[in-house]
Amino acid sequence: MPDAFIRKSEADSHSGGSGTSRPKVGVALGAGAARGWAHIGALRELTAIGVSPDIVVGSSIGAVVGGCYAAGRLDTLESFARSLNRRRVFGLLDVSFAGGGLIGGDRLRCRLEESIGALRIEDLPIRYAGVATEIGTGHEIWLKRGPLVEAMRASYALPGVFEPVRVAGRWLFDGAIVNPVPVSVARALGADRVIALNVAVEGSGRGTAIQDAPDPDEAPIEPPPAVEEAGTGVIGALRRGAGLLRGPWTSEGPAAPGLAAVMVNAFNITQDRIMRSRLAGDPPEVLVTAKVGKIGLFEFHRADELIALGREAVRKARDEIAEHVELAPGKD
């Protein structure tokens, strides 16, 4: 087994906190693409109320924010996120027609390397792991050694959008496919108390089974919820710039949803179902959910709103957090 990663089945066992003066605190940062900027605000507020995590893990954008936090680069990431507008976001994209995704990812890799350099995960002051998925096998891969930037890139490589990343001979992509909010990873790395940070869009978690579809000749009891508007973010920019994706962008009206609407909503639904299943089997001590409304997966230019929503979510959960985690004087 190459030392760049470890499979779930070969994870570290932990001692349950024996020999330490206090239980170890882990933070699990969930997936959500642009919505994950809310994690920046959540981590800021955790610091403000006196939570100092011993372990930070993440999937997708959660791996990016968590890695920057563990590396002491959260200020840099926040400044970058707040500086983005639609034009700057589009300027970071290198459209690819030859690889396994619409975006090659070299420009983003260069920006991460400028900020983080050659830092290795095993040298970070806080224990860290990013979650990725192996193409072909579907293995859940825990990236807990090796270059930090490489782990981040593998964890956020959204299928069909970013090209997969080769790590130690394996092709990896987005960890949200198998473990959107990796509480299990935090526990396996030694956390006795886990705070999970999740982002939720309007209408998420409401899916159910309809055993008898309505008569097609009858009007529906209520209109279906609108499909996420994808034309205002990165995918919209790609559509306008390269003509790759065509509307319509919502399910409203008689026309069938366009490719981007189908991709975005399939990912939203899949991630929500997997997350609920995983958290039911291994619930955190505290689940903090930042409700981000209708902010799209690719609206990276809305960092100011998202960071504020993350802070507010932790403020609301402060009493619950205090029930499970000893709060020290805050620093922020």
- Mean pLDDT computed over 158-164: 78
40-92, pLDDT tens digit by residue?
Answer: 999 999 999 999 999 999 999 999 999 999 999 999 999 999 998 888 877 76
Prediction pTM value: 0.79
User: What 3-state DSSP class applies to 78?
Assistant: helix
Say if residues 70 and 144 touch (Cβ distance below 8 Å). Answer: no
- Mean pLDDT computed over 154-169: 85
pLDDT given for residue 28 in this prediction? 98
Instruction: Say whether 54 is catalytic.
Output: no
Say if residues 247 and 156 touch (Cβ distance below 8 Å). Answer: no
Two tokens at 40? 């920046």
Please report which confidence band the pLDDT of residue 118 belongs to, taking 50, 70 and 90 as the band edges: confident
Q: Report the distance separating Cα 300 and Cα 318, nearest Å.
A: 27
pLDDT given for residue 97 in this prediction? 54
Indicate if the pLDDT at residue 127 is higher than 90: yes
Indicate if the pLDDT at residue 26 is higher than 90: yes
Which of 15-19, 258-262, 324-328 bottoms out in mean pLDDT, i.e. has the lowest? 15-19
CA distances (Å), origin 129, targets 6, 222, 303:
10, 44, 24
What are the b/e assignments for 21-34, b being 16+ CB within 10 Å? eebbbbbbbbbbbb
Two tokens at 267? 């990912």
CA terminus-to-terminus distance, the chain: 41
- Mean pLDDT computed over 285-297: 91
Going by their DSSP bridges, the two strands 170-174 and 165-167 should be labelled as: antiparallel
pLDDT given for residue 298 in this prediction? 81
Instruction: Give 100 or 28, the one with higher predicted confidence.
Output: 28
Q: Report the distance separating Cα 57 and Cα 59, nearest Å.
A: 7
CA distances (Å), origin 44, targets 37, 191, 243, 269:
12, 20, 39, 29
Indicate if the pLDDT at residue 13 is higher than 60: no
Give alpha helix (H) positions in the chain: 38-48, 61-70, 74-83, 86-91, 106-116, 148-155, 183-188, 234-242, 259-281, 303-316, 318-324
173-226, pLDDT tens digit by residue?
Answer: 999 999 999 999 999 999 999 999 999 877 665 666 666 656 656 655 555 555
Residue tagged active-site, from 60, 155, 184, 251: 60
pLDDT > 70: what percent of the chain?
Answer: 69
pLDDT given for residue 217 in this prediction? 61
Instruction: Say whether 60 is catalytic.
Output: yes
254-289, pLDDT tens digit by residue?
Answer: 567 666 667 667 777 787 888 888 888 899 999 999
Two tokens at 35? 């919505």
Of the spans 128-132, 230-234, 247-251, which averages the highest pLDDT?
128-132
- Mean pLDDT computed over 91-106: 57
Indicate if the pLDDT at residue 25 is higher than 60: yes
Residue tagged active-site, from 54, 59, 155, 174: 174
CA distances (Å), origin 178, targets 171, 296, 297:
15, 21, 18
Two tokens at 313? 């979510």
pLDDT given for residue 210 in this prediction? 67
Q: Minimal CA–CA distance to 29: which of 68, 2, 81?
A: 68
171-186, pLDDT tens digit by residue?
Answer: 999 999 999 999 999 9
Q: Report the distance separating Cα 167 and Cα 171, nearest Å.
A: 6
Spatial neighbors of 310 by CB under 8 A, at least 6 apart, are 37, 38, 39, 40, 41, 42, 43, 44, 45, 197, 290
Question: Is the N-terminal amide bond of 248 cis, ω within 30° of 0?
Answer: yes
Q: Report the distance separating Cα 78 and Cα 300, nearest Å.
A: 12
Say if residues 24 and 17 touch (Cβ distance below 8 Å). Answer: yes
- Mean pLDDT computed over 143-156: 94
Q: Report the distance separating Cα 197 and Cα 20, nearest Å.
A: 25
pLDDT given for residue 207 in this prediction? 61
CA distances (Å), origin 174, targets 11, 207, 242, 308, 316:
19, 23, 24, 26, 30
